[in-house]
Amino acid sequence: MQERSTCLGLIRSYYPSFTLTEKRIADFVLNNPKDVIYMSVTELAEKCKVGEGTVVRFARNMGFSGYQELKLTLSRDLVNPFENVLEDVSVKDSLEVIINKVTTKNLKAISDTTRLIDINTLKKAIRAIANARKVELYGVGASGFTALEAKYKFLRIGIICDALTDPHLQAMSAATLTSKDVAIGISHSGATKDTVDSLKVAKNAGAKTICITNFARSPITKVADIVLLTASPESPLASGAIRSIISQLHILDLLFTGVAMKLGEKAISYTEKTAQAVLDKLY
Q: Each residue of 94-106: pLDDT tens digit?
A: 899 888 888 888 8
Query: Taking residues 27-38, what's their average pLDDT?
Result: 90
Q: Are residues 116 and 70 in the same domain?
A: no
Identify whether 169 is part of a domain: yes
The last residue of a domain, from among 44, 78, 112? 78
Identify whether 95 is part of a domain: no
pLDDT of residue 231: 87
Q: Are residues 120 and 168 in the same domain?
A: yes
Q: Are residues 53 and 105 in the same domain?
A: no
If phi > 0 it is left, if psi is from -120 to 50 it is alpha, else beta; for residue 241 that is beta
Residue 145 has pLDDT above 70, yes or no: yes
Residue 238 has pLDDT above 90, yes or no: no
Identify whether 14 is part of a domain: yes
pLDDT of residue 281: 84
pLDDT of residue 3: 41
Q: Are residues 139 and 36 in the same domain?
A: no
The pairing of beta strand 161-164 with beta strand 182-186: unpaired
Among the ranges given (181-185, 214-218, 247-251, 270-274), the one the predictor scored with the smallest mean pLDDT: 214-218
Identify whether 275 is part of a domain: yes
Mean pLDDT (the chain, rounded): 89
Identify whether 232 is part of a domain: yes
Query: Taking residues 221-236, what's their average pLDDT?
Result: 86
> Highest mean pLDDT range out of 11-15, 20-24, 79-83?
20-24
Query: Taking residues 115-125, what's their average pLDDT?
Result: 95
Q: Are residues 259 and 125 in the same domain?
A: yes
Query: Taking residues 191-204, what's their average pLDDT?
Result: 96
Distance, in Å, from the CA atom of 223 to the CA atom of 220, rounded to the nearest integer, reads 6
Q: Are residues 56 and 166 in the same domain?
A: no
Identify whether 257 is part of a domain: yes
User: What CATH number should be reported for the domain holding residue 74?
Assistant: 1.10.10.10
pLDDT of residue 4: 41
Distance, in Å, from the CA atom of 209 to the CA atom of 179, rounded to the nearest integer, reads 10
Query: Taking residues 68-93, what's their average pLDDT?
Result: 72
Q: Nearest 5°: CA angle at 212, between 207 and 214?
A: 145
Q: Are residues 158 and 247 in the same domain?
A: yes
Q: Are residues 261 and 176 in the same domain?
A: yes
Q: Are residues 126 and 256 in the same domain?
A: yes
Number of structural domains the chain divides into: 2
| CA 123 to each of CA 114, 227, 262, 265: distance values in angstroms, whole numbers, following the listed order | 14, 12, 10, 19
Identify whether 276 is part of a domain: yes
Among the ranges given (76-85, 216-225, 260-269), the one the predictor scored with the smallest mean pLDDT: 76-85
Q: Are residues 145 and 276 in the same domain?
A: yes
Paired with 227 in beta bridges are 211
Q: Choose between 282 and 164: higher pLDDT.
A: 164
Distance, in Å, from the CA atom of 157 to the CA atom of 42, rounded to the nearest integer, reads 37
pLDDT digits (tens, 9 = 90+) for 33-70: 988 988 889 999 999 999 999 999 999 999 999 998 89
Residue 211 has pLDDT above 90, yes or no: yes
User: What CATH number should be reported for the domain holding residue 225?
Assistant: 3.40.50.10490
Query: Taking residues 145-162, what's their average pLDDT?
Result: 96
Residue 2 has pLDDT above 80, yes or no: no
Structural domain containing residue 13? 7-78
Q: Are residues 128 and 252 in the same domain?
A: yes
> For residues 211 and 251, is the Cβ–Cβ distance under 8 A?
no
Q: Are residues 68 and 127 in the same domain?
A: no
Identify whether 230 is part of a domain: yes
The last residue of a domain, from among 16, 45, 78? 78
pLDDT of residue 87: 59
